[in-house]
């Protein structure tokens, strides 16, 4: 049996297509909200998470486009997605350096409330994607890992907001922002390794 034959026909998987499309809409919708708040209060954590929402939306749209492709082409797309997942980490490092230089302390209430809203959106996305995380190899794995990591990151953002209110310090926001960058880097590595394994298995 070939590797292509061993995988389910995800091109005909209507529930998966619908789920990926709905998750993309959720991510792109909340990106605008969180990005606006991040700029308004100067939050590194919210900036990192908002860029991550944009990245997740792009990942899911690319997955939707690639569901009907061969395993070999999906593996190559998975490698591209790994690079896309890494971009928010790089952008966050730049933003963290700028905010560290200015010493800006974000407003804790908008930080906490926006982080809570992001938690809800990402929790719903992760629940929607969970049944499909082993379907389609690196593509759906990329979507699930992104949503799962974002739920963890959003809990950290809420905690950062509470600590900022208690300490009036910029450090909780900076630390969480850098932590989100590390999560994205780890997810990028996992997706790349899965895609590389698919690429090897797809060779005749």
What's the structural domain count of the chain?
Answer: 1
21, part of any domain:
yes
pLDDT of residue 166: 95
pLDDT of residue 190: 75
36, part of any domain:
yes
Query: What's the pLDDT band for 61 if we cut at 50, 70, 90?
Result: confident
1, part of any domain:
no
The whole-number average pLDDT for the span 33-40 is 93
pLDDT of residue 138: 66
Exposure pattern of 13-43 as b/e (b: 16+ CB <10 Å)?
A: beebbebbeebbebbbebbebbbebbeebbb
The whole-number average pLDDT for the span 59-70 is 75
CB atoms within 10 A of CB 155: 16
Percentage of the chain surpassing pLDDT 90?
31
Cα(34)–Cα(54) distance, rounded to whole angstroms?
A: 10
In whole angstroms, what separates CA 142 from the centre of its chain? 8
Q: How many helices (H) and strands (E) does the chain have?
A: 7, 0
Q: What's the CATH code of the domain at 60?
A: 1.20.1510
Query: What's the pLDDT band for 161 if we cut at 50, 70, 90?
Result: very high
Highest mean pLDDT, choosing among 53-57, 60-64, 153-157: 153-157
3, part of any domain:
no
2, part of any domain:
no
28, part of any domain:
yes
* Residue ranges making up the domain that contains 17: 9-202
Query: What's the pLDDT band for 1 if we cut at 50, 70, 90?
Result: very low
Q: What is the biggest distance separating any 2 CA atoms in the chain, rounded to whole angstroms?
A: 61
pLDDT of residue 135: 66
Residue 122 has pLDDT above 90, yes or no: yes
pLDDT of residue 136: 57
112, part of any domain:
yes
126, part of any domain:
yes
How confident is the prediction for the chain on average, in pLDDT? 81
pLDDT of residue 112: 96
The answer to whether residues 162 and 112 touch, using CB atoms and an 8 Å cutoff, is: yes
pLDDT of residue 154: 94
Establish how many alpha carbons lie within 13 A of residue 22's alpha carbon, considering only the half-sphere containing its beta carbon: 14
The whole-number average pLDDT for the span 21-38 is 94
């Amino acid at each position: 049996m070939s590797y292509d034959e061993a995988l389910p026909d995800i091109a005909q998987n209507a529930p998966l297509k619908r789920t990926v499309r709905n998750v993309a809409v959720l991510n792109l919708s909340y990106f605008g909200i969180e990005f606006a708040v991040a700029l308004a209060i100067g939050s590194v954590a919210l900036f990192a998470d908002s860029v991550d929402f944009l990245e997740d939306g792009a990942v899911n749209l690319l997955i939707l486009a690639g569901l009907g492709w061969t395993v070999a082409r999906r593996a190559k797309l998975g490698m591209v997605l790994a690079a896309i997942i890494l971009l928010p980490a790089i952008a966050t490092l730049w933003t963290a350096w700028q905010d560290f230089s200015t010493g800006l302390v974000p407003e804790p209430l908008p930080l906490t409330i926006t982080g809570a809203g992001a938690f809800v959106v990402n929790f719903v996305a992760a629940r929607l994607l969970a049944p499909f995380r082993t379907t389609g190899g690196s593509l759906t794995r990329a979507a699930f890992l992104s949503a799962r990591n974002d739920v963890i990151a959003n809990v950290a953002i809420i905690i950062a907001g509470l600590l900022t209110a208690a300490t009036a310090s910029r450090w909780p926001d900076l630390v969480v922002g850098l932590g989100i960058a590390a999560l994205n880097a780890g997810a990028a590595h996992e997706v790349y390794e899965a895609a590389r394994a698919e690429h090897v298995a797809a060779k005749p």
